[in-house]
Structure 1
Amino acid sequence: MLDDVRSSQLHGKSEYSEDRNFQGRSYECMGDCGDFSSYMSRCHSCRVESRCWMMYDRPNYMGNQYFFRRGDYADYMSMFGMSECIRSCRMIPMHRGSYRMRIYERENFMGQMYEMMDDCDSTMDRYRMSHCQSCHVMDGHWLFYEQPHYRGRMWYFRPGEYRSFSNMGGMRFMSMRRIMDSWY
């Protein structure tokens, strides 16, 4: 029992059920899963026991993204207004330390650049930038939102260089939030 608790704290743990209210077949996940179809035909409820997770409505971490913290989601589709059920998931590692990234006005790190170390509820209000088209995440894990004040569709960014957002389904990001260790 103690080993199970330690393992879920280190690796994360989430459980997915075919039907609402945790009914039907279920699948327990302790890390990234690129495709639920070999474990269940559909997924309509989930329970996040530890860590934070990004859920995707298509296999292989594609499609719309949804952020889940620890908790029970007996009917997440109604809660989040989703039209498709979860098809893949990715665990977000905990990050302790500073957060730092650069956002750019244009693709390929061109145009105006701003360095961020905290949340930004509106790039227009803070930087007079209607949206950014590329970024370089140096430290931490971030959620980008298509509308100001952390609304609309979201996208998860981990450390790395993102030269162009044009291949992200036409997303235009206007607010950013750090994924804090206090959320876990």
Structure 2
Amino acid sequence: MARTREFDTQAAVAEAMTLFWSRGYEATSVRDLTQRLGIGQGSLYAAFGDKDGLYRAALDHYRTTLAADALRDLQREGDARSAIRSMLIERIRIAAGADGRGCLAVNAACERLPHDAATRTVVQDMQNASRQALADVLRAAQERGELAPRHDPDALAGFLVTFLNGLLVSAKISPDVRALEPLVDIALTALD
């Protein structure tokens, strides 16, 4: 008879996400995970396969929660410039929080690539979703006359995602939101 899982896997993934986010993949041991999650090593392996499986689940949880929320918020704002500015500033605040833990996706790319194909796929999916959401906002802005027709929404979206990645790394180095905010305003001059 199969044993019933005695823990909430979604809660465990959310907790593991927080641990990986603050410590990184390499610095987080299976023992750290089992202690933090309050489960045995056998339970971790039964539910996730191994540490890599739990890490991928944590990245996916980040993608479907925090990253997805940022993209939804981007769609809710009025004008494109304000929406993009708000999203960028909020991402800085999150990255600078907890003494500069950064962005889990950017951290994963810096720590695990180019050798971890599964992490590359998850991070690329997040990047592509961000690029597409920004391009959609910029196309709508162009249709409303907020963005000049000479601009290529896809190229601008690619620039903004690349800028955001650099900004999130900078937030780890110097987790000072007030010092990073003016950089957002400079980047937004690309929309002029």
**TM exceeding 0.5:** no
Would you tell me which structure has more strand in proportion to its own residues? 1
TM-score, length of structure 2 as denominator length = 0.28
TM-score, length of structure 1 as denominator length = 0.28
Q: Relative contact order (C-alpha < 8 Å, sep 6+): which is higher? A: 2
Q: Tell which structure's C-alpha radius of gyration is larger.
A: 2
Would you tell me which structure has more helix in proportion to its own residues? 2
